[in-house]
Amino acid sequence: MVSRRRFPGLTPIALLLVSFVNVFLVTYVKNVIQELRKERQGYLEVHSRSFNQENAVIERLDHLETYIRNISISMNKPSNEDKKLLQMSKKEMHQKENKLETEKKAVPRILFPDSYLFKRWGTDLTEDQQTKAQELFTKYGYNVYLSDQLPLDRPIRDTRYASCKKKSYPKDLPTLSVILIFMNEAVSIILRAITSIINRTPSHLLKEIILVDDHSSNEDLLGLLDEKIRNYNAKYPGLLKIVRHQKREGLTQARISGWKASSADVVAILDAHIEVNVAWAEPILSRIKEDRTVIISPVFDNIRFDDFDIFEYSVAADGFDWAMWCLYEALPEEWYKLKDDTAPVRSPSIMGILAAHREFLGEIGVLDGGMHIYGGENVELGLRAWQCGGKVEVLPCSRIAHLERAHKPYLLDLSIAMRRNALRVAEVWMDDYKNMVYFAWNLPIENHGIDYGDVTSRKELRKKLNCKSFDWYIKNVYPNLVPMNTIVGYGTIKNTLKEDICIDQGPVPGNTPIMYGCHGYSPQHVFYHSTGEIYVGGLKARRNAVDRCLSDPGTGDLPFLDQCDEAINKGLNMYWDFEQGSSIINRKTKRCLEILRDETASYYTLVMKACTGQKWTIQHTVKDWGRKDALR
């Protein structure tokens, strides 16, 4: 018996069970939390990578510091301080010790040890200051306590390549409207953005700065901000304008309102929590002067939400996955071949912030005003630009520091808005490939119950502009997205013997799929292909991020998960026969995927064994696959 072999005696059983459950729970809960907290993925993928890198660097520095301290102690060479101590009388020593002791006691207690704000900042704050800082952090998602103290015109490191610094640009360039959109951002943050723009943009090119208030509720964004605008305009007549929404309309509408109010040749539509870097505008303006059809993204650096240090990001192209979370892509080979690191980088999409020829952006339909709150609008613009005769580029010499918040105060779960907006993009721009978006979000293609709003005017726009197909886009612009037309069943898979547990990828890292209580997040998303593969644990369908395929090792009683490309290379038994409501049979070994109830405990294991006729159902099917064969 399977379970006997795995759990040989009673005490070991208990021990094993406890440790298994522990390890599993930790890994599992982490997975689920990750899934739940999935934020705008591009930012997640690269930014979180950078975040980890940063942490690693900090840790390394911490170690280094301790290391150096230890060395200096072990060298036994008395410092001046030590020498003084040596000369002290015993009494004096006691006095000194007491003084140190009271000083130690005076060090404030850390009030919020779990807050991200205090992980590497704020150790010297009094309790009152900590409370204040934490309050502001919760409200804004970044360190407003610190921002309020930093100079508005603080210098930031010039993160451009050396070659960018050598470049010169003609004086005669198109004029620029800069648009800053905001909803309940801190005043000091907005003022620092404005200051950086005024100080780092040639004044003869900067026509106006347009603030768009997406119906903020914070008082200081009314009176106080108006007063600041008047002050700026006293110094720079007519430079600042403000547009206020009468109700909250979301970031896409805010960007559109800014565009409508603008009048210069070029618009740069930015978040309000940014600081532009040296000579950020010249590369944009000269590129648009050369080609009015290019939509531009600058390169972002990260203003860290806690200590406001600038963390440099590498130059990359902007892409997205099938769920439409944005992510960074490696630089294309053709770019390297140019041997000019100031050259524009051809990019499938943008991250959100953009610059474009004002009229051209209007001609191709600005942004999709039907988008709600957050997400999708950037990919929509990317697809529309490419499919309708424009292009998208990242300019390595144009750098903007962008503050990445620890949390979004306006939305706890971005995925609801993201999913809805992604469906708009899929329906308007992706033709037959749109199924991939439904797969990625684990939604049925019909009757999904999600109201993505009216898309007729966007479809008409596509027709009017005579835009190319998504097939053209994927082949010519974004081959890293891999469409899959063999998927016939997807979603969670349940055994008809017990329908509250689902096939699950199991602990990661690890290669053993398991049965687990159904929660329906991506560790339980399974994809069955008409060609026989079974993907488990979400759908990547990207060239450089491989999905995991189920196989039967042929011996032993456990099924196995491996990267699909590896499984092919190793010739694993990875092809299965399955129809809706049938057994899942390995084509090669003829063994079945089944569940087995452990006799000592009330849980089920997922095993490979001689078929006993167990049946499985998958959550969604494509077209008529499997339906005619309903449960037998």
Footprint of ligand UDP on this chain (CB under 6 A)?
Answer: 40, 43, 181-183, 185, 214, 248, 250-251, 254, 271-273, 352, 373-374, 408, 410
Which residues on neighbouring strands pair with residue 320, listed in sequence order? 326
Among Mn ion, ligand UDP, none, the one that 250 touches (CB under a kind-dependent 5 to 8 A) is: ligand UDP
Sign of the CA dihedral running 161, 163, 167, 173? negative
User: Which residue, 173 or 269, has its beta carbon nearer to Mn ion?
Assistant: 269
Calculate the CA 270 to chain-centre distance. Answer: 18
Smallest gap from Cβ 356 to ligand UDP, in A, equals 17
Among ligand UDP, Mn ion, none, the one that 283 touches (CB under a kind-dependent 5 to 8 A) is: none
Smallest gap from Cβ 78 to Mn ion, in A, equals 52
CA 522 – CA 504 distance, rounded (Å) = 9
Smallest gap from Cβ 453 to ligand UDP, in A, equals 16
Among Mn ion, ligand UDP, none, the one that 169 touches (CB under a kind-dependent 5 to 8 A) is: none
Q: Which pairs with CB-CB distance under 8 Å and at least 24 residues apart come from 157-162?
A: 157/310, 157/312, 158/277, 158/278, 159/277, 159/301, 159/310, 159/312, 159/399, 160/277, 160/278, 160/279, 160/396, 160/397, 160/399, 161/315, 161/341, 161/342, 161/396, 161/397
User: Which residue, 210 or 536, has its beta carbon nearer to ligand UDP?
Assistant: 210
CA 577 – CA 593 distance, rounded (Å) = 11
Among Mn ion, ligand UDP, none, the one that 348 touches (CB under a kind-dependent 5 to 8 A) is: none
Alpha-helical regions (H) of 291-352:
333-337
Among ligand UDP, Mn ion, none, the one that 254 touches (CB under a kind-dependent 5 to 8 A) is: ligand UDP
Among ligand UDP, Mn ion, none, the one that 373 touches (CB under a kind-dependent 5 to 8 A) is: ligand UDP
Smallest gap from Cβ 335 to ligand UDP, in A, equals 25
User: Which residue, 40 or 207, has its beta carbon nearer to ligand UDP?
Assistant: 40
Q: In 61-80, which positions are buried (b, 16+ CB within 10 angstroms) versus exposed (e)?
A: eeeeeeeeeeeeeeeeeeee
Among ligand UDP, Mn ion, none, the one that 358 touches (CB under a kind-dependent 5 to 8 A) is: none
Could you tell me if 295 and 352 are in contact, meaning their C-beta atoms sit under 8 angstroms apart?
Answer: no
Give the residue, chosen from 213, 249, 271, 504, that forms a contact with Mn ion under the rule CB under 5 A.
271
Task: From 14-22, 143-151, 269-277, 383-391, give the range in contact with Mn ion by CB under 5 A.
Answer: 269-277
Smallest gap from Cβ 264 to Mn ion, in A, equals 23
User: Which residue, 376 or 626, has its beta carbon nearer to ligand UDP?
Assistant: 376
User: Which residue, 40 or 292, has its beta carbon nearer to ligand UDP?
Assistant: 40
Among ligand UDP, Mn ion, none, the one that 206 touches (CB under a kind-dependent 5 to 8 A) is: none
Among Mn ion, ligand UDP, none, the one that 594 touches (CB under a kind-dependent 5 to 8 A) is: none
Pairing outcome for strands 294-303 and 391-403: parallel
Smallest gap from Cβ 189 to Mn ion, in A, equals 11
CA 343 – CA 537 distance, rounded (Å) = 39
Smallest gap from Cβ 251 to ligand UDP, in A, equals 4
Could you tell me if 414 and 375 are in contact, meaning their C-beta atoms sit under 8 angstroms apart?
Answer: yes
Residue 377 engages Mn ion in binding (rule: CB under 5 A): no
User: Which residue, 254 or 295, has its beta carbon nearer to ligand UDP?
Assistant: 254
CA 434 – CA 459 distance, rounded (Å) = 14
3-state secondary structure 181-228: EECCCCHHHHHHHHHHHHHHCCCCCEEEEEEEECCCCCHHHCHHHHHH
Q: Count residues contacting Mn ion (CB under 5 A)?
A: 1
DSSP at 424:
H
H or E stretch at 88: none
Residues 219-248, interacting with Mn ion (CB under 5 A)? none
Among Mn ion, ligand UDP, none, the one that 40 touches (CB under a kind-dependent 5 to 8 A) is: ligand UDP
Smallest gap from Cβ 238 to Mn ion, in A, equals 27
User: Which residue, 142 or 535, has its beta carbon nearer to Mn ion?
Assistant: 142
User: Which residue, 183 or 205, has its beta carbon nearer to Mn ion?
Assistant: 183
Smallest gap from Cβ 414 to ligand UDP, in A, equals 8
Could you tell me if 472 and 387 are in contact, meaning their C-beta atoms sit under 8 angstroms apart?
Answer: yes
CA-atom Rg of the chain in angstroms: 29
Task: From 134-142, 170-178, 268-276, 334-342, give the range in contact with Mn ion by CB under 5 A.
Answer: 268-276
Q: In 182-213, which positions are buried (b, 16+ CB within 10 angstroms) versus exposed (e)?
A: bbbbbbbbbbbbbbbbbebbeeebbbbbbbbb
Among Mn ion, ligand UDP, none, the one that 182 touches (CB under a kind-dependent 5 to 8 A) is: ligand UDP
Token pair in block for residue 472: 């053209």
Task: From 153-161, 263-271, 291-299, 468-476, give the range in contact with Mn ion by CB under 5 A.
Answer: 263-271
CA 105 – CA 97 distance, rounded (Å) = 12
Smallest gap from Cβ 126 to ligand UDP, in A, equals 31
Smallest gap from Cβ 68 to Mn ion, in A, equals 38
Smallest gap from Cβ 392 to ligand UDP, in A, equals 16
Using DSSP's 3-state secondary structure scheme, residue 129 falls into: helix
Residue nearest to Mn ion (CB): 271
CA 31 – CA 39 distance, rounded (Å) = 14
Which residues on neighbouring strands pair with residue 296, listed in sequence order? 355, 393
Q: Would you tell me which residues interact with Mn ion (CB under 5 A)?
A: 271
